[in-house]
Amino acid sequence: MIEIKGRNVPQAYKEGLWVMNTCGERGDSRNGPVMSIPQPVLLTIKYPWERVLFDPVRDANPFFHVMEFVWMMAGSNDAKWISQFNSRMMEYSDDGILRGAYGWRWSQGDQIRNAVRLLRRDPDTRQCVLQMWDNTYDGVEAKSSDRPCNTHIYFRTGPRGLDMTVCNRSNDMIWGMLGTNAVHMTMLHELVARASGFRQGLYQVFTNNLHVYPDMPNFSKIYKKTFACYDPYSYEEVRHTPLLDRNETCEMFMEDCRKLVDGDLEDGLCTNWVENVAYPMYEAYLGEHRMDYISYIDAPDWQRACSEWVARRASAKVAAVV
Q: Considering the domain boundaries, does residue 102 fall inside one?
A: yes
Residue 277 has pLDDT above 90, yes or no: yes
Q: Considering the domain boundaries, does residue 231 fall inside one?
A: no
pTM above threshold 0.85: yes
- E strand or H helix that includes residue 75: none
Q: Write the CB contacts of 316 (distance below 8 Å, at least 6 apart in sequence).
A: none
The model's pLDDT over 210-233, given as tens digits with 9 standing for 90+, comes to 999 988 877 888 877 655 678 999
Q: Considering the domain boundaries, does residue 130 fall inside one?
A: yes
Q: Considering the domain boundaries, does residue 232 fall inside one?
A: no
Tell how far CA 240 is from the center of its chain: 15
Q: Considering the domain boundaries, does residue 199 fall inside one?
A: yes
| Domain around 269 | 2-225+238-321
The model's pLDDT over 140-190, given as tens digits with 9 standing for 90+, comes to 877 777 889 999 999 999 999 999 999 999 999 999 999 999 999 999 999
Residue 152, beta-bridge partner list: 131, 167
Between CA 160 and CA 144 the distance in angstroms is: 39
Strand 129-131 versus strand 150-158 pairing type: antiparallel
State residue 321's pLDDT score: 57
Domain CATH number, residue 25: 3.30.572.10
State residue 225's pLDDT score: 62
The model's pLDDT over 18-60, given as tens digits with 9 standing for 90+, comes to 999 999 999 998 888 999 999 999 999 999 999 999 999 899 9
Q: Considering the domain boundaries, does residue 250 fall inside one?
A: yes
Residue 172, beta-bridge partner list: 211
Say whether 93 sits in a helix, a strand or coil: coil
State residue 96's pLDDT score: 85
Percent of the chain predicted with pLDDT > 90: 78
Q: Considering the domain boundaries, does residue 50 fall inside one?
A: yes
Q: Considering the domain boundaries, does residue 42 fall inside one?
A: yes
Q: How many domains does the chain have?
A: 1
